[in-house]
Amino acid sequence: MPEYGLREPSYFGGSGRSLLGAIPVLLLLAAAGATGYLWFQSTAPAVEVAGGFPRALGPSTPLKVRWTNPHGARRVTVFTEQNGVRNVAFERVEPAVRFAFRPPAAAPGEAAFNIPKTGLAPGKATVIIEVQSNDLRGQTSQISHELPVVLEKPTVTAGAAPVFLRRGGAGVVQFTVGGGWSDAGVRVGKFTFPSWPSKSKPERRLAFFTIPPEVDDETVPLLFSRNAIGDEATAPFPFKVTAVKFRDRTLELGDKLMTKVLDELDSGAQGEAAERFARVNSVMRRANDATLAALAAKSEPARLWDGPFVMLPRGKAEALFADHRTYRYAGKSLNREWHLGIDMASTKNAPVPAGNNGKVVHAGRLGIYGNCVVIDHGLSVLTVYGHMSDLSVKAGDTVKKGQEIGKSGMSGLAGGDHLHLGLMLGSAFVDPVEWSYASWMEKLLAALDQ
Ligand SMILES: [Zn+2]
């Protein structure tokens, strides 16, 4: 403070002036000190959106803003900004308090309101939240986020031609979507299948689907289309499904297999062997299949495969797709599971070929599948190779049809050397055998238009 510096010699230096003359100086000093104190007590508010920003702006979008500042907020303003034009979506103003000593203990503030669609058009808009602290400096904090604007409901329309498929096999459905939509596909019970634009008619979309063996007869496949604010449209579509009689199989587990499986997949766990096996067979199986579905969800949006898939050469089918297996041990039934792939046995440690062109997305342990390679063939199609011994590829590798990816084995939930081959579409397994027939593949590719 310059005043302080100027006057200091006059009253500390014994110039003979009365101390009374220093009072204005002291008052000034006090005022300056108080102002300085209030200045340094001023802080910028912390601002957040409770639960995070929404995924999109709709016709009326709820938002809850929270802020913390020791002296509260003088002004809270929320704008939407699109193409350089700002609209106020919400504002709250409190009387300004600049020169008051208050304990810096204001409770956190909160405002819940709906952002109106005023001034918004489909596209993208930015939500800007500004909060000014109610203290001497009145600093403003700002957070913002760009969001899609969705003002229309989605629509979905099925094609007229029926889709033919076998139960447990793959079908391709064509449909069109409209309105405000961002995601579309097929849902069959708990299973979902993504979609892609058709190459020759981009306004049309295509999706794989299946009627999985574990889905009951009342479950109807539905086309869906939804937008980012949660509106959804659904429509049934015509299809003809050929019934397939799946086999019932009983698997008697001997002590040798029981010990091998528990040592490998459940080592160190407590409890009865039978219970532990049943848990591995159900809980671990579901977790592994969820991992595979997550890999399919990240599949390349283009077809990487070419022509029919190759199988294990000279492989003898030991188990078929959707064998309904009852697992028994020591005279008791443990549990029942669908075998959602085919088992093929050849010689011990037989070279395993990549079923088709694609990208390796997993190469390593995967629970019941043991040493496992997973290849992404694009458009949500994965092949899964289980129970292998050696692996000769790693995640990230590009593979060609027929290229050796490793050797067969008996790792994981397997009692003898064989290859378990699974083919996943979206979040469901289908019978891989039809994918190995040239004529079937030709029809599939014609329907797929990719
Ligand atoms: Zn198998």
pLDDT for 20: 63
pLDDT at 39 over 90: no
Q: Output the domain CATH number for residue 280.
A: 2.70.70.10
Cα 421 to averaged position of ligand 1 atoms, centre (Å):
7
Q: Are residues 19 and 68 in the same domain?
A: no
Mean pLDDT across the stretch 185-193? Answer: 96
Asked if the model's pLDDT at residue 6 lies above 50, the reply is no
Confidence (pLDDT) at 322: 94
Cα 387 to middle of ligand 1, angstroms: 8
Q: What spacing in Å lies between the alpha carbon of 341 and ligand 1's midpoint?
A: 6
The last residue of one of the domains, among 187, 213, 242, is 242
Say whether both 336 and 373 belong to one domain: yes
Verify that 105 and 180 share a domain, yes or no: no
| Distance from Cα 185 to the centre of ligand 1, integer Å | 29
Whole-number Å distance, alpha carbon 372 to ligand 1 midpoint, is: 12
Distance 438 CA to ligand 1 centre (A): 24
Output the CA 270–ligand 1 centroid distance in Å.
Answer: 27
Q: Is residue 187 located within the same domain as residue 125?
A: no
Asked whether residue 238 falls in the same domain as residue 208, the answer is yes
| Stated pTM of the model | 0.80
Same domain for 53 and 172, yes or no, is: no
Instruction: Please give the distance, rounded to the nearest whole angstrom, from the Cα atom of residue 224 to the centre of ligand 1.
Output: 32
Q: How far is the CA of 19 from the centre of ligand 1 (A)?
A: 100
Percentage of the residues of the chain whose pLDDT score is greater than 90: 81
Quote the ligand 1 centre to 186 CA distance (angstroms): 27
Domain end, chosen from 192, 213, 242, is at 242
How many A from CA of 200 to the centre of ligand 1?
39
Residue 340, pLDDT score? 96
Q: Give 388: exposed, middle or buried? Use CB within 10 Å, 0-12, 13-18, 19+.
A: buried
**Ligand 1 centroid distance, CA of 285 (Å):** 12
Q: pLDDT averaged over the chain?
A: 92
Judged against a pLDDT cut of 90, whether residue 404 lies above it is answered with: yes
110 band by pLDDT with thresholds 50, 70 and 90 = very high
When divided into structural domains, the chain yields a total of 4
Model pLDDT for residues 115-127, shown as the tens digit of each residue: 999 999 999 999 9
**Mean pLDDT of the region 237-264:** 94
Residues surrounding ion ligand 1 at CB below 5 Å: 343, 420
Question: pLDDT per residue over 358-398, tens digit each?
Answer: 999 999 999 999 999 999 999 999 999 999 999 999 999 99
Q: Which domain holds residue 212?
A: 154-242
Residue 90 sits in the same domain as residue 158: no
- Share above pLDDT 70 across residues of the chain, in percent, rounded to a whole number: 95
Kindly give the distance from the C-alpha atom of residue 419 to the centroid of ligand 1, in angstroms, as a whole number. Answer: 7
Distance in Å, CA 169 to ligand 1 centroid: 17
CA of 339 relative to ligand 1 center, distance in Å: 6
Q: How far is the centre of ligand 1, averaged over its atoms, from the C-alpha of 131 (Å)?
A: 60
| Residues 288 and 427 occupy one common structural domain | yes
CA of 420 to the centre of ligand 1 (A): 4
Ligand 1 centroid to residue 316 C-alpha, Å = 13
Quick one: 421 and 341 in the same domain?
yes
Ligand 1 midpoint to CA 385 (Å): 9
Lowest mean per-residue pLDDT among 77-81, 268-272, 424-428: 268-272
Mean per-residue pLDDT, 199-213: 93
How much distance in Å is there from the Cα of 325 to the middle of ligand 1? 11
Q: Which CATH number does the domain housing residue 65 bear?
A: 2.70.50.50
Do residues 275 and 315 share a domain? yes
